[in-house]
Amino acid sequence: MTLLSMTGFGELRDERDDYAIAVELRTVNSRHLKLNLRVTEGYGALESRIEAVIREFVKRGTIHCNLRIRHTGGADDYRLNLQVLNLYVDQLQEVAARRNLDERVRLEPLAGLPGVVEELSTDARSAGQVWPLVEPTLRSALEQLSEMRATEGTALATDLQEQCQSVERSLNAIEELAPTVVEHYRRRIQDRVSEALASLNVSIEPADLVREVSLFADRSDISEEIVRLRSHLQQFGEALALPESAGRKLEFICQEMGRETNTIGSKANNSEISLHVVEIKTALERIREQIQNVQ
């Protein structure tokens, strides 16, 4: 069974060549593929490459990807912007003088103000040059995500097989009951007509009864629907065993099974068959809910 769930999580942190790279991936249900991507400012040029790699692993669902890239250079990679620092000091001293504040300006808190400390190597590498460091981390996180989705997919496949077995059991019961429907109808209509006409001392021609029963038999024949529903069940099982997860195909087959079941329920004028139709619809509803989470 190769089903993949659309729900999963993958996270990985790594350090490569003075860069700290963190990837966080979350996937949830969605009818189509949708990517929500957040990348550290300055690395937007990587978005198309990131999306291409994600599409190798994920075919359907909503993917939230958060990629953080931080340069971890040494002290030589940073410097004080004295012009900005002096502006801060001048403004603070001016405020203190106006309000008669007797406070000393400490340099340590000022270092955390925007623009005081500059990273000289921020633009040392372009986004394209950083990509060889990012890609292995991204792929490892996606592999972790895929493992989780595969584990959940196995549980989904097991449940889907159980529901299909339930449908098959009910369908077998319907197939056994189908031949008796016409005979029950013939007896019922003959008894009712005979009772109604007895008081009038009138008889009904056998040919008329045969004609009416024949019309009913044509209207209530569900043999073709049974064959098609059984064929859809077989196709569903084959789709479960495909080498790639086929959520959309399973969804389509489930819709077709629902149509055949509705037709059987509307044509078969039999209370026992109706009960089995309800059982099939219940199982199909469960299948429909489950395959919403299949890639």
Residues 130-156 pLDDT 10s? 999 999 999 999 999 999 999 999 999
What is the band of 209 on the pLDDT scale with cuts at 50, 70, 90? low
Amino acid (one-letter) located at 179: P
How confident is the model over 209-213, as a mean pLDDT?
55
Give the Cα separation of 126 and 46 in Å (integer): 10
- Run of H or E residues at 142: helix 127-198
Query: Which pLDDT value is given to residue 129?
Result: 85
Among 157, 166, 164, which Cα is nearest to 240's? 157
Query: In the structure encoding, which two tokens stand for residue 208, read together?
Result: 């008329």
Query: Which pLDDT value is given to residue 3?
Result: 87
Phi and psi torsions of 27, nearest 5°:
-125, 140
Instruction: Tell me the domain boundaries of the chain.
Output: 8-74+126-151, 76-119, 154-291
pLDDT score of 268 more than 80:
no
Q: Which residues lie across from 10 on neighbouring strands?
A: 25
Place of tokens 């291409």: 52
Among 29, 241, 59, 226, which Cα is nearest to 142's? 59
Torsion of CA 223, 226, 227, 231, to 10 degrees: 170
Task: Supply the DSSP symbol for 1.
Answer: -
In contact, 113 and 88? CB cutoff 8 Å = yes
Residues 6+ apart with CB under 8 A from 105: 89, 92, 93, 96
Q: Which residues lie across from 70 on neighbouring strands?
A: 20
How confident is the model over 55-71, as a mean pLDDT?
93
Helix orientation angle between 127-198 and 271-291, rounded to the nearest 10 degrees:
170
Amino acid (one-letter) located at 44: G
Would you identify the CATH topology of the domain 8-74+126-151? Ribosomal Protein S5; domain 2 (3.30.230)
Average pLDDT, the chain: 84
Give the Cα separation of 235 and 121 in Å (integer): 59
How confident is the model over 78-107, as a mean pLDDT?
79
pLDDT score of 176 more than 80:
yes
pTM of the predicted protein model: 0.68
**In 10 A of CB 244, how many CB atoms?**
10
Give the Cα separation of 96 and 105 in Å (integer): 10
Query: In the structure encoding, which two tokens stand for residue 244, read together?
Result: 């790639």
What is the band of 53 on the pLDDT scale with cuts at 50, 70, 90? very high
Task: Name which residue leads in pLDDT, 209 or 258.
Answer: 258
How confident is the model over 152-170, as a mean pLDDT?
95
In contact, 36 and 54? CB cutoff 8 Å = no
At 177-200, the pLDDT tens digits run 887 765 665 566 555 555 555 555
Task: Name which residue leads in pLDDT, 93 or 287.
Answer: 287
Query: Which pLDDT value is given to residue 212?
Result: 54
Query: Which pLDDT value is given to residue 124?
Result: 46
Task: Name which residue leads in pLDDT, 219 or 168.
Answer: 168
Edge to edge, the sheet with strand 19-28 lists 8-16, 19-28, 61-71, 33-39
